[in-house]
Amino acid sequence: MAEPVKREKEILAVRRADGESRSLAASLPRLVLEARRIAANVIHGLHGRRRAGSGESFWQYRRFVSGEPSQRVDWRRSARDDHLYVREQEWEAAHTVWLWPDRSPSMAFASRGARDSKLERTLIVTFALAELLVAGGERVGVPGLMNPTASRSVIDKIAQAMLHDEAARLSLPPSFVPSALAEIVVLSDFWSPIAEIRGMLAGLSASGAHGTLVQVVDPAEESFPYSGRIEFVEPEGLGVITAGRAERWADDYVARLALHRDQIREETNKLDWWFATHTTSRSAAELLLFLHGGMMVSKSGTRVHVKAGRAS
């Protein structure tokens, strides 16, 4: 009878995780509002990325400098007073940023010490980062879900695409070929085998694109605070494990976690990508600032990263 009972518990866990994921539709409005609040606070503290350069949108008038070609003078504006003015265009360096929020069943987990579930935190940061990027002139897309857009209503577009998405909830982004100038941000708990993560990185970086992997974890997944007899049920149908005295597993668990992270970091270092970790007991704004600061792009297109192994 042990095997049927074990299987029943596994099925119930999978259904519970799936139900929590599906109930996200009811909480999306709250997550969207929280994302907009955080994005607004960050935008308020940042300088805009608008600057002069080649483009089609008017930016500003400035005084003509002696030695410049006379054809740069805007004679209509200069006729208004006694000075010569040059009409500057806004530098248009929009490129595409692909955001991948892991929405698989394992992301629904939340322990008592967490502010949000891993899924809620991932979506809040994804929405807020999309808002910041579009405000800075970038295009944002979600692989397999939404084509790149520079729409000011980017959060609503992503949320609606998720609500109508009937595809399987994958832990890692689907295979696609981003442009060489694209930036990719993958937010996941990254409990996938290292071989799958390595394969994902190889595919996404083949064209020369760069990116950042952020491992979003619950505080309990960080420290393994369990003791006594505990049944651990894998929410994606991979089985049930029973620990007679769970506290004896803690040291081995922490060591395996460190090894897994070292393996991911080794792969990202080979490609000049970044790997960071984020615990849901921390502030979402910290992670947002880390990601936004890490994707600032100079006029030449050079990536300027905030060098850190831990986002928050």
pLDDT value of position 300: 38
Are 139 and 165 in a shared domain? yes
Are 179 and 74 in a shared domain? no
Are 23 and 65 in a shared domain? no
Are 72 and 166 in a shared domain? no
Number of domains in the chain: 2
Q: Is residue 305 exposed (0-12), middle (13-18) or buried (19+ Cβ within 10 Å)?
A: middle
Are 259 and 293 in a shared domain? yes
- Tens of pLDDT, residue by residue over 196-222, are 999 999 999 998 899 999 999 999 999
Q: What is the mean pLDDT of residues 84-95?
A: 64
Domain range spanning residue 82? 58-89
Structural domain includes residue 265: yes
The kind and range of the H/E element at 234 are strand 230-234
Structural domain includes residue 309: no
Are 67 and 185 in a shared domain? no
Residue type for position 291: L
Structural domain includes residue 312: no
pTM of the complete model: 0.74
Asked if pLDDT for residue 169 goes beyond 70, the answer is yes
pLDDT value of position 46: 58
pLDDT value of position 306: 39
Are 206 and 73 in a shared domain? no
Average pLDDT, the chain: 81
Asked if pLDDT for residue 302 goes beyond 60, the answer is no
Work out the pLDDT band at 157, boundaries 50, 70, 90. Answer: very high
β-bridge mates for residue 73, sequence order: 86
Asked if pLDDT for residue 93 goes beyond 80, the answer is no
